[in-house]
Amino acid sequence: MFKLALATMEGTKAAFSAIKANAMRSALTCLGIIIGVAAVVTVVAVMQGFTKQINDQFADMSPDVTTIKAYTSIELEMVGKNAKLSYDDFLTLKARVKEAETLTALMFTWRFSGGAEYGNKSHSSRVMGTEQDYQKAYRTYPDLGRFIRAEDDEKRRRVAFIGPSIIEKLNLPSNPVGEYIKLGGEWFRIIGVAEKQGSFLGFDQDDYINIPISTMSALEGGNTQSNVQIMFRLEDNANEEQVLAKITRILRQLHKLKDGDDNDFEFETAEKARAQVDKFTGSATAITAGIVGISLLVGGIGVMNIMLVSVTERTRVIGTLKALGATPGFIMLQFLVEAVVLSLFGGLIGLAIGYGAAGLISFMVPSMPDAYIPAWAVMLSFGFTSLIGMVFGLAPAIKAARLNPIDALRYE
């Protein structure tokens, strides 16, 4: 135990002495490790920041809400076709799918893609048609005024519920309820302002305008450029598989799809969206791992080379130690510790650079989430650098341990 501690101490001292005496050589030796660790820390910090923000966003979403979206296969896109869900599809499902606790929709049209006008101000915002159940499905609560009601939809009222960013974009009064804005060439009265949600991956979640879906449909006059997304939440006792099959049958009938035709719509849940995000982050991690692996391999070869040079330079010292009774195991352990310390030194610098780079990216790009480095990433970095030191320091350590003391003492 004493010999182990002594070898560790001597190896550590020798490593720091070598780093101090040959600072430039040591820095160049560790360059591969520094780059590898800096790369992995930067990417992990940025990806973990994204993941944390995404997880927070999913926590605020309704996990039991399923969205029906139009789906166009690549084959149909190649011939210029584009699938859509219509307002009539929504009305039919709302009337026939009684198993849904909530069934609502969002409509998007080209007519309102130009955004909003107020006074001499204009702003290109997302204008969406919806109805009162959307508030229950997605927990959209007013900070001022109220949300769209059933009577607004029934009477096709020209009213608007706006996100808080619209106030700033159009230079509206701090309480704009009762003010009129122009949408798609028509005047709409503001009835409410939503609670602030903030940004998500650089996307302003407060920059939108909701109007009654029936109003939007009527103003469009059956325009084929409109598209609808349908969202629903099932009753607790409903059989999800049976309900999805029922909706599929209804939509296939409405769209006049023949047997063998693919569905021109798809179901999407929060879990499915999250799986797609996980797939993306997994791919990014795999690519980073490849880059890091190459950098660490280069760094490991550098550590091995400098340790071989160190063995040659200290041949007489090794001979003296052996003459005084040092065992091959003691010599080997000392050089292994030195290699590990040298690798950890590079890992520490890489960690600092990676953390600084991640913080700089978050600072320079306002839409980026704050960088976050979990403890496991730090431990993993030091674990890998230690392993690199041990693996690539093994050959020099064995060479030092096998030196003949007499030949070593004669070495000039």
DSSP conformation letters of 340-397: HHHHHHHHHHHHHHHHHHHHHHHHH-TTSPPP---HHHHHHHHHHHHHHHHHHHHHHH
- The fraction of the chain above a pLDDT of 90, given in percent, is 21
pLDDT at residue 363, as a whole number: 76
Q: Closest by alpha carbon to 68, among 27, 102, 105?
A: 105
Please give the average per-residue pLDDT across 309-336, as a whole number.
76
C-alpha pair distances (Å), 76 with each of 73, 80, 81, 142: 5, 6, 5, 41
Q: How far apart are CA 40 and CA 291, in angstroms?
A: 9
Q: How far apart are CA 385 and CA 350, in angstroms?
A: 10
For residue 183, pLDDT over 80 is answered with: yes
Q: How confident is the model at residue 161 (pLDDT cuts 50, 70, 90)?
A: very high
Q: How confident is the model at residue 366 (pLDDT cuts 50, 70, 90)?
A: low
Q: How confident is the model at residue 14 (pLDDT cuts 50, 70, 90)?
A: low
Q: How far apart are CA 68 and CA 248, in angstroms?
A: 10
Q: Closest by alpha carbon to 378, among 392, 360, 358, 399?
A: 358
